[in-house]
Structure formats: structure tokens, C-alpha cells
């Protein structure tokens, strides 16, 4: 395929839409062509996996931009990939040129074999044919050329595969709105701080772990025996509170026009990888729970199944290998799911209780937009507004952050987190802990999932936007700490949740229950 002003380029490349302002106008009207190469850490790809498309040309044309982007996002290894891709492309071009000469020579051989009397087919200026040109000699020469071409084609395929694998491992370009460095930018606050300065009295803020155990609604010890560290039991009112939070978030999202989905918890590993969630990190540690395969299934090439770390993955997978109609966008979905995170190496005092666990319930927002920055940002702002509405109504003190480049995952071009204040964590990060996140992923996921959209007769790549409506355990933990009444030994339930709590207004000793 001839692409743009390049003389030749490997198959499986196309120009993307870009997020940064100085790149946003670099678009293409070409129909996307598929690329079948795997992400380096995703293992062998199933033949049923979506055909991934990677924009090698743009990386080759902007190697310094991509290398700097990798360094800013804390992908030091990937920073070397753009230069490596250019080296491989030079080798590919050399192989291509050599192959072209051999093909021209093979064509002349075929013509001479078809008409041996026409000696004018010999062109002494370029690799003249052997003289005398006997048929036997010509056939032998043809076999030699065929073997040489096979070697060259294999080399071209290998070089293309390596280029695409490297390109797929490079993170998305970073938005101009994203702060560079490691420090987030505070955009706004939600609700008043419950204690702006540490009290002069001997008042002690209780952890949600202590509160939950004292009220008998949180059992970590039994979960440790049954499942190990990072698992938990919610009991009685806490279990009911979990369902109340889910119902409240779903009701708010549905009112705002988000269509409900009940997604699967198991997805193919290549779907998770295409969304930017790798089964293993750079240290080889497991970050995603994989389902063991039988030797027979592995031998047949059956795709590996993994437990979804977030509903974002199965939601994105809904439109894998699909071509959307422009009139269907924006396509907005909301899903409740159990989420599974291996969280390798995460254990410690900083993660005690419900703050970092292996399984939890989350209400997730996911949307597809036209490949346009303004359309995606409208959805992004809508998600943050909904997150703000939910957390504000729950009475939690929060701050909205524009996250820095070093904090972005592979797929996001821009990310905003909302952190709430956990009184018991004041000695760590001034008490702030993340409870929601929202990201714009441009066409990073749709290219890897082969999700297309027809716009004015052209087949392009839609953009994806995702966000947390409510991560239940952390919000529940914050409610326990914010609502704790030390004198009464009870927790005040936010009023917006009362309809789902059978009218109960507090969690505490039975005689203190409000009805």
C-alpha cells in the first residue's frame, strides 16, 4: 500500500486522529487496514481476535514526539521504540527494493521462457540474462529467484511484525490539557472540608476498618481465612449500603441518558490488552486474573480468558469488529460489574481495609463519540459533572484533579480523578484518596478492537471515553468515616440513599436506628 508521500510502507497502517492541538488536523480519508500483530506482552493472538491497526507512519514521521511522550508518561523502555521502528523501516525498504529487482528479473525470465526466440527481452543494462539462454538454464535461474524472493518476503513480514508490535506498545499521545511531570493540577473542590486544620483537641478520626468492625458490618478476618488478603465481607447494613450506592448511581446515570448494560465478568485476554490493560506489567507480575486453560484448549489456540478489571473492558468489547453509523453517536452506556484486580505488590498499611481490594463493585460509564476532540470532551465533561453530582450529594469532601502525564495509563490521552478526604488517612497524602476517574482515549482502543464508524461515507475510528460513576467500596469507606459519630457510636447515612435503605438513616446500635 502506498501511504501519503512515502514511496512504500508496510501493510496495516493508517493515519489516526490525534488529540494534541498541533496534530489534530493530521487526518486521513483512507479506509483503515487491519494489522494482526500482538501487543508484546499479550501472548499469541487468537485468529478470532480483532485485527489491530497501528499508525506506523505517524510514529516514523514524529519519532522525537513519541519518544518524549513515552518518557513523560513513565514508559522509559518504549521511548526507544520510535527510533527502532525507523531502523526497521529502513531495513524493510532495502528488502523491498531488492525484492523489486528480483521480481523484475523473474518477469523477464518468464517472458523469455514464453518466447525464447525474442532475444530482445534480454536487457544487458540491468542484470543481463545468462548467454546462451537455454531453457534449462532459465528454469534453474527461475528457481533460484523464487527462493531468494521467498527469503525476502519472509524478512519483510518479520520486519513488519516487529514494527507493529513496537508501535502497539507505545502509549497514546498526551493531551495539551494534561500537566507534564508528576504533580496533578487541582481544578475544583466539592463540599466543605470537615476539618481544614487538625483539631487542637485529642479527637481521633476513626478508620472505616475500626468503624465497620465495631458496628459488625465489615469482616476482614473471615475473608482472609476464606480468600486471603485483599478480600472482605460486607454484612447487614453495609451490604445493603453497597446496593443502595449502586442503585443510586444507576438511577442518576439513567436519568442523564446513559443506557444500562449488564456485562460479562470474563473477557478474552486480547480484548483486555486492546483496551490498555495488560495481563502482566513490565516486571512480569500478574495484574489481571487469568483463567487456567487446559492443555487441549491451549494447543487449539483457544483465547485465554481473564477476569475484567473494570466494566470498561467488556463494554468496549461490545463493539469489537463492528462498524457504527455516525447517527448512533454518541453511544453512552452505564454498567454495574464486579471488578477484579490482582494488585501485585500492593499490600501494605496504606491499603488496609476497603481502599485497595481484589474484588469490588463499580458503576462504570463508557461512551463512543465521533472522531472529534470537541465531541469527546463534551462526553468527558458530562461524566465529571455526573461524578461531581453523586459525590456532592453523598456529602463527601472531594477535589477534582487534572492528572499529570506520568499518571496516565497506556490508553488515556487525558485523565481527571476525583479524590475524597479520608480522615483516617490524614498522615498519608493529606488524607486524599481516589474514588473516581474519567479518561479520553481517542482512537487508541477502537484501533485495537477494529471498531469503525462511517462519517460522510468514509470509514474512520470513533473515540472512546470512560469514567467511574461510583467505585463502591471506597465510597462506602468514606461514608463510614465522614458519617461517624463518636459519641453515639453510629454512622449517619446520606439522605439520598435513604430510599434504598428501608428508611434507615443511621448504622449503629440497634436502639439508635432511625426509621
In angstroms, rounded to a whole number, what is the distance separating the alpha carbons of residues 84 and 360? 41
Residues of each annotated binding site for ATP: 341-343, 357-360, 434-437
**Virtual torsion, Cα 373, 376, 381, 387, nearest 10 deg:** -150
Determine contact, residues 276/445, Cβ cutoff 8 Å. yes
Of 164, 153, 151, 155, give the one whose Cα is nearest residue 45: 164
Residues of each annotated binding site for L-serine: 310, 341, 364, 466
Of 408, 478, 246, 413, give the one whose Cα is nearest residue 339: 246
3-class state of residue 204 by DSSP? coil
The three cell numbers locating residue 60? 516514523
Of 328, 330, 290, give the one whose Cα is nearest residue 306: 290
Of 164, 57, 151, give the one whose Cα is nearest residue 99: 151
Residues of each annotated binding site: 310, 341-343, 357-360, 364, 434-437, 466
| Length reported for the chain | 515
In angstroms, rounded to a whole number, what is the distance separating the alpha carbons of residues 221 and 238? 16
Residue 219 forms beta bridges with which residues? 233
Contacts of 372-381 spanning 24+ positions with Cβ under 8 A: 372/17, 372/463, 373/19, 373/24, 375/329, 375/330, 375/463, 376/440, 376/442, 376/463, 376/465, 377/440, 378/330, 379/330, 379/332, 379/465, 380/414, 380/416, 380/438, 380/440, 380/465, 380/467
In angstroms, rounded to a whole number, what is the distance separating the alpha carbons of residues 206 and 221? 19
3-class state of residue 484 by DSSP? strand
Amino acid at each position: 500500500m502506498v501511504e501519503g508521500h512515502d514511496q512504500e510502507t508496510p501493510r496495516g497502517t493508517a493515519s489516526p486522529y490525534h488529540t494534541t492541538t498541533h496534530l489534530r488536523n493530521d487526518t486521513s480519508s483512507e479506509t483503515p487496514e487491519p494489522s494482526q500483530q500482538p501487543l508484546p506482552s499479550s501472548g499469541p493472538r487468537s485468529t478470532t481476535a480483532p485485527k489491530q491497526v497501528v499508525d506506523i507512519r505517524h510514529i516514523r514521521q514524529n519519532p522525537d514526539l513519541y519518544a518524549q511522550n513515552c518518557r513523560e508518561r513513565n514508559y522509559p523502555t518504549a521511548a526507544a521504540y520510535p527510533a527502532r521502528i525507523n531502523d526497521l523501516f529502513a531495513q524493510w525498504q532495502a528488502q523491498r527494493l531488492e525484492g523489486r529487482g528480483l521480481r523484475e528479473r523473474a518477469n523477464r525470465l518468464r517472458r523469455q521462457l514464453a518466447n525464447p526466440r525474442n532475444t530482445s527481452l534480454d536487457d544487458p543494462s540491468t542484470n543481463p540474462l545468462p548467454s546462451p539462454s537455454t531453457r534449462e538454464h532459465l528454469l534453474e535461474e527461475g528457481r533460484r529467484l523464487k527462493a531468494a524472493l521467498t527469503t525476502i518476503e519472509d524478512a519483510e513480514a518479520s520486519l513488519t511484525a516487529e514494527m507493529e508490535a513496537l508501535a502497539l506498545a507505545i502509549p497514546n499521545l498526551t493531551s495539551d490539557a494534561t500537566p507534564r511531570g508528576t504533580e496533578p493540577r487541582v481544578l475544583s473542590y466539592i463540599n466543605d472540608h470537615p476539618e481544614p486544620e487538625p483539631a487542637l483537641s485529642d479527637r481521633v478520626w476513626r478508620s472505616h476498618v475500626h468503624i465497620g468492625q465495631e458496628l459488625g458490618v465489615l469482616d476482614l478476618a473471615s475473608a482472609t481465612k476464606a480468600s486471603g488478603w485483599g478480600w472482605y465481607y460486607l454484612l447487614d447494613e453495609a451490604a445493603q449500603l453497597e446496593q443502595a450506592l449502586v442503585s443510586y448511581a444507576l438511577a442518576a446515570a439513567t436519568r442523564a441518558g446513559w443506557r444500562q448494560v449488564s456485562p460479562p465478568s470474563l473477557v478474552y485476554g486480547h480484548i483486555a490488552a486492546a483496551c490498555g490493560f495488560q495481563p502482566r506489567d513490565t516486571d512480569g507480575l500478574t495484574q489481571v486474573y487469568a483463567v487456567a486453560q487446559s492443555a487441549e484448549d491451549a494447543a487449539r489456540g483457544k483465547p485465554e480468558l481473564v477476569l475484567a478489571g473494570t466494566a470498561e473492558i467488556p463494554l468496549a468489547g461490545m463493539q469489537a469488529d463492528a462498524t457504527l453509523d455516525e447517527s448512533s453517536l454518541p453511544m453512552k452506556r452505564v454498567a454495574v460489574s464486579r471488578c477484579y484486580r490482582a494488585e501485585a505488590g500492593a499490600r501494605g498499611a496504606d491499603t488496609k481495609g476497603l481502599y485497595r481490594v481484589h474484588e469490588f463493585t463499580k458503576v462504570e460509564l463508557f461512551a463512543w463519540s465521533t472522531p472529534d476532540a470537541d465531541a469527546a470532551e463534551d462526553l468527558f465533561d458530562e461524566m465529571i459533572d455526573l461524578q461531581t453530582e453523586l459525590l456532592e450529594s453523598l456529602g463527601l469532601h472531594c477535589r477534582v484533579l487534572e492528572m499529570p502525564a506520568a499518571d496516565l495509563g497506556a490508553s488515556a490521552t487525558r485523565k481527571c480523578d476525583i479524590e475524597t478526604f479520608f480522615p483516617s488517612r490524614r498522615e498519608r497524602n493529606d488524607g486524599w484518596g481516589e474514588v473516581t476517574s474519567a479518561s479520553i482515549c481517542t482512537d487508541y482502543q477502537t484501533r485495537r478492537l477494529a471498531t469503525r464508524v462511517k462519517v460522510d461515507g468514509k470509514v474512520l475510528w470513533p473515540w472512546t471515553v470512560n469514567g467511574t460513576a461510583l467505585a463502591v467500596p471506597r465510597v462506602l469507606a468514606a461514608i463510614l468515616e465522614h458519617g461517624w459519630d463518636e459519641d453515639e457510636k453510629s454512622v449517619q447515612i446520606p439522605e439520598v440513599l435513604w430510599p434504598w435503605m428501608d428508611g434507615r438513616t443511621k448504622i449503629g446500635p440497634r436502639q439508635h436506628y432511625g426509621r
